[in-house]
Amino acid sequence: MPTKIDTQIETLGIPKIPTTLPFGPFFSSEAKIVIHVGPEVIEEAASEQLLIPFEEAGPRDKVYFDPPKTKCALVTCGGLCPGLNDVIRAIVMEAHHHYNVASTIGIRYGLQGFIPSYGHDIMELTPKNVTAIHEFGGTILSSSRGPQAPEEIVDALERMNINILFMIGGDGTMKAARNIHQCIKKRNLKISIIGIPKTIDNDIHFVPKSFGFDSAVAKATEAIRCAHVEAQGAPYGIGIVKLMGRESGFIAAEATLALKDVNFVLIPEEPFELQGENGFLQALERRLITRKHAVVVIAEGAGQNLCNGSKKKDASGNPVLGDICDIMRTEIKNYFQAKDIPITLKYIDPSYIIRSIPANAHDRVYCGFLGQHAVHAGMAGKTNMVVTRLQDRYVYIPLDLVTQKRRRLNTQSMYWRSVLESTGQPQFLKKCEK
């Protein structure tokens, strides 16, 4: 049986107010665009060809909210990511200059900003105070992790008379957005919830590429280049680079493809062993004997089968990871010391540098479109949805779809095959017990 995927977008009511936008084109909510979704987007497509209808993003000729009476709010949640300020700026500029909304306010420090007991002030967002924020990394609204009661958030939305809430964040934020929407629905309120998916790990279900990912990869390649120089600078030199990727190895894989100097890339989707004929250490030894240097890229969530997990969770509810890089460095040093091979090991962790840089040109364009289409959706009365890009088309996707699970790298794909061909690493990963 073909996989059934519901992509219907929820609305608050029938849009009846002529748009304030001076020109089109305008899009009909009833018209769908059919997109072929492959295994690079969702695992369900691995065994069948999925043609899925989506509602195309864009302005409508009639809107649900009356612009001069509309009040918007915007919040950024979770970890930092290149492009956050770009999305904020795009939303504010579109809402003020083109829809002439009454106001847009920024909620400070993530979802904590809705809760009175934290004492965070709100921030009025105007074209004047966001005009240059895209030149800087981070978010002018600041952020936080951790769940907050959706009932308290909806209480705050009611107190502030918010009509549209834009939520920028990752998997946890999208789940929070869905819960907030459900609470709004129970109270029969007319408040639109629009998600803009943000994850530097690129691991949101149904989102093939999140904003900031390209910028992160570009910065990661600088660290890899440095590790390669260091590795070549001494006999039996080893350069190790730790990159982000709790459950998904997209940054590690993409950076490996971008810079062909990587000899081993270790990701969460592929368990591996250190010892034995098919273990990593023997493969590394063979590389050093033949080429005298090696570059290893490790995603932070790789090799958790080798770590003594604490079973604790962070403020966002994610499992606290074991430090695989600390284990790797110790095991590598011990292994080659026993072999009497004088290695030189250099370790680079650029994670916080990558998270906090400004977006590159490609991501800035992407962020601009996401912000604009988010405003179009909110003004038209759409809710319980995210805006994203699929095959160069901007579409609306229900929150219920993107929150089903995390997106992971498909290790049976041609993409991963290309990574393995680029590194030349052996198939020791495939022979481990999963």
pLDDT bracket for residue 433 (50, 70, 90): very low
CA 296 to chain centroid: 24
Q: Which of 151, 148, 153, 131 is nearest to 140 (CA)?
A: 131
Tokens representing 274 are: 């250190």
| Between 45 and 136, the higher pLDDT residue | 136
- Contact between 164 and 190 under an 8 Å Cβ cutoff? The reply is no
Domain enclosing residue 51, as ranges: 10-210+359-402
- Examine residue 153 and state whether it is found in any structural domain, yes or no: yes
Residue 142 is assigned to a structural domain of this protein = yes
Domain assignment present for residue 32? The answer is yes
Same domain, 30 and 134: yes
Residue 43, pLDDT > 60, answer yes
Q: Residue 365: how many CB atoms within 10 A of its CB? A: 13
| pLDDT score, position 1 | 38
Q: What is the mean pLDDT of the segment spanning 371-378?
A: 98
Residue 18: band (very low, low, confident or very high) from pLDDT cuts 50, 70, 90:
very high
Secondary structure string (H, E, C) spanning 157-214: HHHCCCCEEEEEECHHHHHHHHHHHHHHHHCCCCCEEEEEECCCCCCECCCCCCCCHH
Residue with token string 């110790």: 330
Which is it for strands 71-76 and 164-169: parallel, antiparallel or unpaired? parallel
**CATH code for the domain of 24:** 3.40.50.450
Residue 320 pLDDT: 78
| 422 and 351 within one domain | yes
Q: Tell me, what amino acid is at 254?
A: E
Are 159 and 176 part of one and the same domain?
Answer: yes
Same domain, yes or no: 340 and 253: yes
Q: Are 162 and 73 in contact (CB under 8 A)?
A: yes
The band of 37, judged by pLDDT with boundaries at 50, 70 and 90, is confident
Q: Do residues 317 and 197 both lie within one domain?
A: no
In angstroms, the CA 388 to CA 385 distance is 10
Whole-angstrom distance, CA of residue 46 vs CA of residue 84 = 32
407 found inside a domain: no
Whether residue 161 sits in one domain with residue 60: yes
Catalytic, 201? Answer yes
Count of the separate structural domains present in the chain:
2
The predicted-structure confidence for 380-414, as pLDDT tens digits, reads as follows 999 999 999 998 899 999 999 999 989 999 898 88
Q: What is the mean pLDDT of residues 201-221?
A: 94
The pLDDT confidence band at residue 434, using thresholds 50, 70 and 90, is very low
Rounded to an integer, the average pLDDT of 238-249 is 96
CB 250 within 8 A of CB 202: yes
- Residues 354-365 have a mean pLDDT of 97
Domain assignment of residue 56, yes or no = yes
The helix/strand/coil state of 119 is coil
What percent of the chain has a predicted confidence (pLDDT) above 90? 82
332 in the same domain as 258: yes
Indicate if 27 and 100 belong to the same structural domain.
yes
At residue 38, the pLDDT reads: 73
pLDDT tens track for 74-90: 999 999 999 999 999 99
pLDDT higher at 277 or 183: 183
CA 246 centroid distance within chain: 11
In tens, the pLDDT along 122-153 reads 999 999 999 999 999 999 999 999 889 999 99
State residue 62's pLDDT score: 97
Whether residue 263 sits in one domain with residue 136: no
The chain-wide mean pLDDT, for the chain, equals 93
Beta strands in 281-401 (DSSP E): 293-299, 344-348, 382-383, 385-390, 393-398
The percent of residues above 70 in pLDDT, for the chain, comes to 93
CATH number at residue 226: 3.40.50.460
**Catalytic residue (choose from 201, 203, 261, 363):** 201
pLDDT in tens, 280-339: 999 999 999 999 999 999 999 999 988 876 567 766 667 778 899 999 999 999 999 999
Q: Does residue 5 lie in a domain region?
A: no
